[in-house]
Amino acid sequence: MKHNLFISEISSSDVLHSYKSSDLENLSNKIFLGLDLSKPTITDYKYRIGKFVEFIKENGFERNTLLNYKRQLHESNFSISTKNKYFISAKIFLRELYRLDYLDKDITVNIKGFKQNQGHKKDGLTEDDILIIQEHCKALTPTSENLRLKALLAFFLFQGLRQIEVCRMDINDIDLKNKCVFITGKGRDDKEIVWLHPYTVKAIKDYINIEKINTGAVFKSKSNFCNGNRLTTKSIGAIIKALLNDLDIDGTTHGFRHFFTTKLIKNYKGELLTVSKYTRHRSIQMLEVYNDEIIRQADLPRFYNVFNDIKI
């Protein structure tokens, strides 16, 4: 039995004009919450579907709605990665509508996302960048805020953790005696062990001692509005970005993970399987991208030399 939100004649261009945006957003929230996905992914879908809802309200709804939405995204100033995120949220929404019998036809068939280069769009931090950060940290007074910053940097620099992994970390996940931490990795439901570098152990010890953390989240907000609450990925990103801006370094929090991975590959001489144990990439293919870039950079002097006898 069909639901009443959509009429069976899917080709009708104004099928959704009689419904308020709030009704469609409520439906999308209900559908996304029913998906077997992580909470951050569902939150992201719920955030991005609003753009598709507005597109429907402005342009109507028919068989080529998703294709036309993709064309509109193509003309936008978003990055390819962002375009794909908006497109995928719309595609999943429509596919679920069909699966749940809100639609008579699956209009997502044979409509693909944007082709995205598998290489790295943003370079990681350089050795010079890390040296600047290192010298800056040496001069910091051991205040609560500064020790929190150094602990965050340690997890990014020496462990290559992702922001979400740091956000999820509770004090009970850390075993300083055995120098390890149990984290919930990207796309994981269970915790996995990460062995801590001695520098990370010292940084986290100093931070825990001054904060006297006994339970709950390791990293908490110090702002007036969210004091004591778990830091979010947005908050951590802002903290790191503020540091990089102060030091005139062009980079992001993820740049530390890029640096971490690149440095391991260089020192392990391309032993990608071993490196993957530390970076926790589930696919060696991604590490091959790093490795290919390292090889290409190392070969550039030879490439330049090929054309040294040509002047224009």
- SS3 of residue 193 by DSSP: strand
Is residue 155 within 8 Å of 161, Cβ to Cβ?
yes
Q: Where do the CATH 1.10.443.10 domains begin and end in the chain? A: 127-256
- Taking CA atoms, 253 is separated from 34, 115, 157, in Å, by 32, 25, 10
User: What pLDDT, on the 0 to 100 scale, is given for residue 289?
Assistant: 86
User: What pLDDT, on the 0 to 100 scale, is given for residue 46?
Assistant: 84
Query: Up-side HSE of residue 99: CA atoms within 13 Å toward CB?
Result: 12
Residue 42, classified by CB atoms within 10 Å of its CB into exposed (0-12), middle (13-18) or buried (19+), is middle
For the beta sheet containing 174-175, the strands, ordered from the edge strand earlier in sequence to the opposite edge, are 174-175, 180-184, 191-195
How far from chain centre, in Å, is Cα 7? Answer: 38
CA–CA distance, 184 with 172 (Å, rounded to integer): 13
Dihedral-angle region of residue 216 (phi above 0 means left; psi in -120 to 50 means alpha; beta otherwise) = left
Taking the CA atoms of the chain, what radius of gyration do you get in angstroms? 24
DSSP structure string for 97-127: HHHTTS-SS-TTTT-------SS-SS----H
CA–CA distance, 147 with 189 (Å, rounded to integer): 30
pLDDT digits (tens), the chain, 312 positions: 444 444 344 433 334 444 445 566 778 778 888 777 767 778 888 888 889 988 988 988 888 999 999 999 999 988 887 888 899 889 988 988 888 888 888 899 888 888 766 555 556 899 999 999 999 999 899 999 999 999 999 999 999 999 999 999 999 999 999 999 999 877 667 889 999 999 999 999 999 999 999 899 999 887 766 777 899 999 999 999 999 999 989 899 999 999 999 999 999 987 999 999 999 988 888 899 888 888 888 898 898 899 988 988
User: What pLDDT, on the 0 to 100 scale, is given for residue 257?
Assistant: 95
Residues 6+ apart with CB under 8 A from 85: 44, 48
Paired tokens of 40: 């951050």
0.85 exceeded by pTM: no
127-256 has which fold? hpI Integrase; Chain A (1.10.443)
Q: Where do the CATH 1.10.150 domains begin and end in the chain? A: 1-116
Query: Up-side HSE of residue 55: CA atoms within 13 Å toward CB?
Result: 19
CA–CA distance, 133 with 127 (Å, rounded to integer): 10
Pairing verdict, β 191-195 and 180-184: antiparallel
How far from chain centre, in Å, is Cα 22? Answer: 28
Class of the CATH-defined domain 1-116: mainly alpha
User: What pLDDT, on the 0 to 100 scale, is given for residue 115?
Assistant: 79
- Counting every residue written for the chain, the total comes to 312
207: nearest Cα among 164, 169, 254:
169
Dihedral Cα 27, 30, 31, 36, nearest 10 deg: 170
253: nearest Cα among 171, 78, 133, 173:
133
**Sign of the CA dihedral with 128 first, then 129, 134, and 135 last:** positive
69: nearest Cα among 30, 43, 108, 101:
108
- Taking CA atoms, 163 is separated from 12, 37, 270, 271, in Å, by 45, 19, 26, 26
